[in-house]
Amino acid sequence: MSSAHAVAPDGAIPAPQVPRSRIVIASMVGTSIEFFDFYIYATAAVLVFPRLFFPAGNDTTALLASFATFGLAFVARPIGSILFGHFGDRIGRKATLVGSLLTMGVATFAIGLLPTYAAVGLWAPALLAIMRFTQGVGLGGEWSGAALLATETAKPGKRAWAAMYPQLGAPIGFFFANGIFLLIVIATGYDSVNSGTDHAFLTWGWRIPFLLSAVMVIIGLYVRLKLEETPVFKLAVERGQKVKTPLAQVFKTSWRQLIIGTFVMLATYTLFYIMTTWVVSYGTGQVSDVNGPELAISYTDFLELQLIAVLFFAALIPVAGLLADKYGRRPTLIVITSAIVLFGLSFHWFADPASASAGKMLVFMCVGLGLMGLTFGPMSAVLPELFPTNVRYTGSGISYNTASILGAAVAPFIATWLVSSYGVGWVGVYLAIAAALTLISLIIMKETRDQSLDSV
C-alpha cells in the first residue's frame, strides 16, 4: 500500500456542502433500489423462470439453467465496475451513480415485459440472459459509487458508521422484493407445487415487481440529482491528481489491494447467496438431499421465514459499523469470519432433511443472515480505504464485483449440485472453505481504520 495513502488527516477534508441527511438517503435509497431489482430476479429465478423461460423437462435441469442466467449478472458486474469506475474516477461520483441506476432500472423494467418460451421459443431465455447481463453491468457500478459517496463525506473516525448506510440497501431491497412477491402469491392463491403455467401468478402476477421498479428508479434519480460531488474528489481534481486510465493505473499501483479486497469479500458473497437464493430451492423441496427426504415447506411459508430472518441482517449492519470504528476493520472481521466457518460446519445439524423443520430452518436463516449483516456492514468502508482517490471507484468496484463471480455467481449452482450429490453438510463445508480463504486475506491485510481518504 502506498505511503502516500495517508497524506492528510481526515480533518483536512472539507465538510460536504449538502445536508448529511441527503447524503445518507442518496447512498441508501439507490442501493435499496438496485438490490430490490437484483433480488426480484433471484426470487423469480427459483419460482418463475424455470417454468416459463426454459424448455419443459427435468425440473432440476431447468432450475440449474435458471441459476446459470442468475450467475450471468455476476460475470457482468466486473465489466460494470470497470466501465462506471472509469467515469467515476474521471468525471466524478455523482454523474456515474445516476448512470448506473438508470442502467439497472431499464433492464429490470424490460424483464417484466419479456415474452416466455411458449411464445417465442429460445428467444425467451436469450432475451432474459441479455437483460440479466445488463442488470449486472448497472449493479457493478452502483455499489462503489454509493460506498464512496458515504465514506468520502464521513466525519473523522466515523467512516464505518457512515458506510453502513449503503449496506442497509441490501436488506431493505431484499425485504421489499420478497415482501411484494409474497403479497402477490397470496393474492393470486399461487401454489408452487400444484399450480399450472396458466395460473394468474405465472401469467401476469410475477411481472408486477419488475414493472414497479420504474417508479422506484424515478425516486432514486430525483434524490441523486440533488447531490454535489464529494469533497475528497473535488480536492483531487483541484490538485490535478486524476489519471487518464484508472484501470491501467489501479493494476499498476494497487494490484495487491485488488487481490486482498476480492478475497476479503469472498465469504460475504458465498454466505449471502447460499442463505437467500439456494436455500429457497432447498427449503421448498425443489432440490432434494441425496441422503434423505426432501423438505416440503410451502413457498409462502418459507418466504415468511426469510422475511423474519432478513430483519437480523438489517439489525446487525449498524452493529458491525460501530464495532469496526471502535476496534478496527481487521479484528472485527476476523472474529466474524471465524464464526462463519463454524456456522458452515453446522449445516448438517441445522438443515439435515431427516430432522429439519420450519422452526429449525428459521433459526438456521436467522443465524446465517445475522452473520451476513456483521460481515457485510463494514465492507463499504474497508474496500474504498484500500485504494487511493484517483482509482478508488475502479479499485473498490473491481474487488467487490470480482468476488461476486468467485462467491455469489457460482454459490447457488455449486450448493445445488453438492446437496443433490453428497448432502447438505457439504454445502456448509463449501461455505467454510470460502470463509477460510477470507480469513487468510484478513490476516494479510493491513488495518485501514486510520487511513486518510485524501490521498493519491
pLDDT digits (tens, 9 = 90+) for 72-94: 887 888 898 899 888 888 887 77
Report pLDDT for 1. 38
Report pLDDT for 335. 98
pLDDT band at 56 (very low <50, low <70, confident <90, very high): low
Q: Answer yes or no: is pLDDT of 2 > 60.
A: no
Residues in contact with 279: Cβ distance below 8 Å, sequence separation at least 6, in sequence order: 306, 365, 368
CA-wise closest residue to 395 among 272, 269, 256: 256
> How open is the CA angle 322-323-327, to the nearest 5 degrees?
125
Q: Answer yes or no: is pLDDT of 294 > 80.
A: no
Q: State the chain's maximal CA–CA distance in angstroms.
A: 65
DSSP result, 8-46: S-GGGSPPPSS-HHHHHHHHHHHHHHHHHHHHHHHHHHH
Report pLDDT for 364. 94
Q: Answer yes or no: is pLDDT of 3 > 50.
A: no
Residues in contact with 378: Cβ distance below 8 Å, sequence separation at least 6, in sequence order: 160, 163, 164, 320, 321, 323, 324, 329, 332, 333
Measured CA to CA, the distance from residue 456 to residue 453 in angstroms comes to 9
Q: Answer yes or no: is pLDDT of 6 > 50.
A: no
Q: Where do we find the cell 465489466? A: 79
Q: Region 142-158: what's the mean pLDDT?
A: 85
Please report, rounded to a whole number, the percentage of residues in the chain having pLDDT higher than 70.
Answer: 92
Measured CA to CA, the distance from residue 200 to residue 188 in angstroms comes to 6
Report pLDDT for 60. 65
Q: Where do we find the cell 465496475? A: 81
Measured CA to CA, the distance from residue 135 to residue 133 in angstroms comes to 5
Report pLDDT for 16. 55
Report pLDDT for 57. 63
pLDDT band at 265 (very low <50, low <70, confident <90, very high): very high
Report pLDDT for 9. 39
Helix/strand/coil percent split, the chain, to 5: 75, 0, 25
Report pLDDT for 456. 47
For residues 239 and 447, the model is more confident at 447
Q: Answer yes or no: is pLDDT of 275 > 60.
A: yes
358 φψ region: left (φ > 0), alpha (ψ -120 to 50), beta (else): alpha
